[in-house]
């Protein structure tokens, strides 16, 4: 097997994860297609895969010493590549907003902006793969979730509708909140509905431009904390009844000092072991006398 092989766990529509080996960078061995698209939060290009009929983002998990055993072969790269589905509308939202000459941060009228045809709506000099996405994904029914339309001369034109986008994002928050509360474990079950809702809004904000993140919080009646990071789930077990100020906090500097001390101790132990290995036993300095023969 090629040394460039990777182990990927990807999403399937049957809701069952599947582990398989794919090749980089051609992604041979599966039906994946690479798409270089801007991250909706930062605008930086990110690699996504169109895999099994949906858009999936890729996250890599790598330990220092790891490898994979696949059949009778060993993969030197022990990384785990996790592919999870992401809504293409979240990727498209910043581009659609810019091409319709809208900006939610300016709090302009919801009816502001211009109508564009589909090609103009998806035009982006920094993300040419957006048009490739349109060939893989039937975008028209989904665009109706965030856009108003106007038919002129047999052609359909689109304009971002702030009211539709707000309602669409609120539905996502509601569904995510329900999933976290029922399937997220004890940490989320211990949280009240308002806290879970705020946490869900924070998670969704990781895929939203700053203006839309703040607008979403305002529409949900959430306090503006100055950050879009999700709230931390409540502690469970023995920490659940302790005051927040008394819970153990991790100090990065203290952790670094402790790690350095452990490394020095380990180096000292190795040095002593090497020194001991070079010392001869005391008995080696004396010649063995032959035993007298028995009479």
Query: Using one digit for the tens of pLDDT, what is the confidence trace for 26-80?
Result: 444 557 889 999 999 999 999 899 988 899 998 888 888 888 888 888 888 788 8
In a domain, 178, yes or no: yes
Is the distance from CB of 133 to CB of 50 less than 8 angstroms? yes
* pLDDT for res 155: 93
Rounded to two decimals, the pTM is 0.67
Q: At 283, list the tokens.
A: 């008995």
The pLDDT score that the predictor gives to residue 175 is 95
Q: How confident is the model at residue 266 (pLDDT cuts 50, 70, 90)?
A: confident
Instruction: Using the 3D structure, point to which of 208, 234, 260 is the last residue of a domain.
Output: 234
Range of the domain at 66: 5-86
Q: Please check whether residues 117 and 172 belong to one and the same domain.
A: no
Which of these three, 219, 234, 249, is where a domain ends?
234
Greater model confidence, 108 or 178: 178
More confident position, 291 or 164 = 164
Please enumerate in sequence order all residues whose Cβ is within 8 A of that of 29, keeping only pairs 6 or more positions apart, or say none: 20, 21, 22, 23
Q: Exposed, middle or buried: residue 292 (CB in 10 Å: 0-12, 13-18, 19+)?
A: exposed
Instruction: Calculate mean pLDDT across residues 249-269.
Output: 68
pLDDT for 127 equals 85
Give 230: exposed, middle or buried? Use CB within 10 Å, 0-12, 13-18, 19+.
Answer: middle
Q: Per-residue pLDDT averaged across 226-242, rounded?
A: 47
* Per-residue pLDDT at 25 exceeds 60: no
pLDDT at 156 over 60: yes
| 177 in the same domain as 148 | no
Is 128 in the same domain as 75?
no
Residue 184 lies in a domain: yes
Residue that terminates a domain, selected from 36, 70, 86: 86
Q: What is the 3-state secondary structure (H, E, C) of the chain?
A: CCCCEEEEEECCCCCCCEEEEEECCCCCCCCCEEEEEECCCCCCEEEEEEECCEEEEEEEECCCCCCEEECCEEECCCCEEEEEECCHHHHHHHHHHHHCCCCHHHCCCCCCCCCECHHHHCCCCCCCHHHHHHHHCCHHHHHCCCEEEEEECCEEEEEECHHHHHHHHHHHHHHHHHHHHHHCCHHHHCCCHHHHHHHHHHHHHCCCCHHHHHHHHHHCCCCCCCCCCCCCCCCCHHHCCCCHHHCCCCCHHHHHHHHHHHHHHHHHHHHHHHHHHCCCCHHHHCCCCCCCCCC
The whole-number average pLDDT for the span 162-171 is: 95
What is the pLDDT averaged over residues 19-26?
A: 44
State the CATH number of the domain containing residue 44. 2.20.25.530
Domain count for the chain: 3
**Is the domain of 156 the same as that of 216?**
no
Question: Is 152 in the same domain as 97?
Answer: yes
The pLDDT assigned to 287 comes to 54
Q: Both 9 and 80 in a single domain?
A: yes
């Amino acid at each position: 097997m090629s040394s460039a092989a990777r182990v990927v766990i990807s999403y399937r529509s049957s809701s069952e994860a599947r582990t398989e080996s794919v090749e980089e960078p051609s992604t041979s061995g599966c039906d994946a297609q690479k798409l270089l698209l801007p991250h909706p939060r930062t605008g930086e290009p990110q690699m996504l895969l169109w895999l099994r009929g949906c858009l999936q983002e890729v996250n890599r998990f790598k330990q220092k010493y790891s490898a994979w055993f696949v059949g009778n072969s060993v993969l030197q790269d022990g990384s785990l590549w996790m592919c999870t589905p992401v809504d293409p509308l979240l990727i498209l939202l910043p581009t659609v907003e810019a091409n319709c000459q809208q900006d939610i941060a300016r709090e302009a009228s919801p009816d502001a902006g211009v109508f564009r045809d589909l090609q103009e709506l998806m035009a982006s000099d920094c993300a040419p793969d957006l048009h490739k996405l349109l060939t893989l994904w039937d975008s028209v029914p989904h665009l109706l979730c965030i856009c108003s339309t106007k038919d002129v001369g047999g052609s359909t034109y689109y304009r971002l509708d702030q009211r539709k986008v707000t309602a669409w994002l609120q539905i996502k928050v509601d569904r995510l909140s329900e999933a976290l509360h029922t399937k997220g474990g004890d940490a989320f079950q211990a949280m009240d509905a308002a806290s879970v809702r705020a946490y869900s809004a924070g998670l969704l904000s990781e895929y939203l431009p700053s203006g839309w993140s703040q607008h979403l919080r305002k529409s949900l009646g959430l306090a503006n904390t100055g950050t879009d990071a999700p709230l931390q789930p409540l502690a469970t077990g023995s920490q659940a009844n302790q005051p927040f100020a008394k819970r153990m906090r991790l100090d990065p500097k203290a952790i670094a000092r402790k790690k350095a001390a452990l490394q020095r101790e380990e180096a000292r132990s190795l040095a002593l072991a090497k020194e001991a290995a070079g010392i001869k036993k005391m008995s080696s300095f004396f010649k063995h006398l032959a035993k007298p023969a028995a009479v």
